[in-house]
Chains A and B, each alone.
Chain A
Amino acid sequence: MKKRLIALLGLTSLLVILSGCQLKQTGESITAVGSSALQPLVEAAGDRFTEDNPGQFINVQGGGSGTGLSQIQAASVEIGNSDLYAEQKSGIDPKDLVDHKVAVVGVTPVVNPEISVKNLSTDQLAKIFSGDITNWNKLGGPNQKIVVINRAQGSGTRDTFERWVMKGRSTMQAQEQDSTGMVRQIVASTPGAISYMAFPYVDKTVKTVNVDNVTPTDKNVQINKWKIWSYEHMYTNGKPTGLTAKFMTYILSDTIQDEIVGEMGYIPIKDMKVSRTLAGKVATINE
């Protein structure tokens, strides 16, 4: 009995020691936490980075933009990923944070494939999400109740959508989902459903809608004809140093921007023909 107990204790302590070892043996590593919209991109870039630089690892975790910003503010991780400017998030002091814009992502309204409506004005869209328009027949569609599906409060995608579509009007209380995957599945299977999602997530099961007769394409985002888009930010606490700086340069390099960023449905930052400030001021980039 006693022997077994000691063996068990020994095994447990061995596990603890070993798990401590693992971190040390793998050499250098940094952690990036935050936005789930940005996570796949950083993961892919991190894998490539490790291939090119053996022994240097990038740990990528999700958790949401809020987590990313609060973790980087507390300096408990090296990189905080966010869909939002740090200034837009309450409770974050952006003073020490350094912004690195690594990509751009467009957000498009999506509807259930059975809805025949092809185009909506920004005003109509805002009225749908504020609850003023409740039936598709008012918009030239079938006599079908509109089912609005929102993302969770504080989600980066929702903030982008509300900023450029609602423009200060408040969104009505409606269904909320905390992941784009769930939103897509629900929009695809619920008659009359409407929601919004980032370009990379759109597939055949849902239908995109033109806004003010502009189609949601990367080209239209690049010239700001399609207005609902946001930068993907990677924040560091202070100027990045060492491995963090190396990785930031790597992710902004042409190889990564062309191969991984574009491939995954994001828009490479260097392809943007315009820039947009936090306040929403748009300027053309002169090459």
Chain B
Amino acid sequence: MNNDEIRASLLKRSRASKNEIFGKVISGICITIIIGVVVSIFYFVASKGLATFFTDKVNLWKFLTGTVWNPSTNDAQGDPQVGALPMIVGSFSVTFLAAIVATPFAIGAAVFMTEISPKLGKRVLQPVIELLVGIPSVVYGFIGLSVVVPFVRRTFGGSGFGILSGTFVLFVMILPTVTSMTVDALNSVPRNYREASLALGATRWQTIYKVVLRASVSGIITAVVFGMSRAFGEALAVQMVIGNAMLLPGNLISPASTLTSVLTMGMGNSVMGSLSNNALWSLALLLLIMPLVFNILIRWIGKRGAMH
């Protein structure tokens, strides 16, 4: 072999490097498409949602604090009645209440699965909880409508539709998410923490309570926030049980509404480009921003947890 041939074979692209370029191009294209889709969704929702404030000149403050939602009519000052406060309050109440109810159950189940009986937990509890994730939300809503609503009506009075029913349904829906993430958090606590604690003479309960749970606090909070962001975005199941009345909820058993339920109900009945449609897009924009806030919260918690 003379020098030129060696030189040529070295300079030529080998099979492996061609493969590498091929792979890079494919993944590059995929990533570009995904980024493009995300950016265009944001752009589309923002342009439609902001039109309420720029084109229709609705005051942002009035939108966030107004209590009357009736986009087709004007109030005494001639401004359109697009007060989103009842829905904002409704959405946040069901989300927080569901999270508050779900957290103890999730932590209990997770502790059982990781600390007390990992075998039984893995074989029985985990599949059951994973099964809950797979149930479509319309099924939850239907069960809510035919079981939870009459139950609430008989036990607490009222029509049965309201935040309380929504909370019960969402509780079951976010439980699997929160539980499985809490399990991960507990599993990531190093083994030597437990061993050290037991060696010091602590009981199992003391170890769980004072060591394992304390060490995984940031992980558990992340799990809860994740569950909340799922609850916040849930539309169908909540819509079926909450009653959809655009009223500031006076108590837990009077009909209320959430951002998502108003959105799904109103979309088909309004005309693209009209104020009532734009106002719905503004609600969609709010729904898009909230998961962002939740995500930032999760990252912030993660960072704080890492420092300790």
Contact = CB atoms under 8 A, between A and B. Distances in A.
Interface residues of B, number: 39
A70 interface: yes
Given A2-B19, A90-B276, A189-B150, A182 B240 contact: yes
A149 to B, nearest CB: 9
Contacts of A92: 271
Contacts, number: 94
A211 interface: no
B70 interface: yes
Given A65-B269, A170-B73, A185-B145, A91 B274 contact: yes
A176 B268 contact: no
A66 B160 contact: no
A90 B274 contact: yes
A123 to B, nearest CB: 22
Question: Considering residues A92, A147, A170, A173, which has the most beta carbons from chain B within 10 angstroms of its beta carbon?
Answer: A173
Nearest to A155: B269
B227 interface: no
A177 B26 CA distance: 47
B271 A175 contact: no
A153 interface: yes
B159 to A, nearest CB: 5
Interface string A111-150: 0000000000000000000000000000000000001000
B268 to A, nearest CB: 3
A166 interface: no
B153 A63 contact: no
A173 B239 CA distance: 16
Contacts of B150: 189
A147 B73 contact: no
Given A91-B273, A173-B246, A182-B240, A66 B73 contact: no
20 contacts: A2-B19, A65-B269, A66-B270, A66-B271, A67-B268, A67-B269, A70-B273, A90-B72, A90-B276, A91-B273, A92-B271, A152-B265, A153-B269, A173-B69, A174-B255, A175-B159, A176-B265, A177-B265, A178-B239, A178-B268
Interface of A: 2, 5, 36, 62-67, 69-70, 73-74, 89-92, 147, 152-155, 170, 173-178, 182, 185-186, 189-190, 193
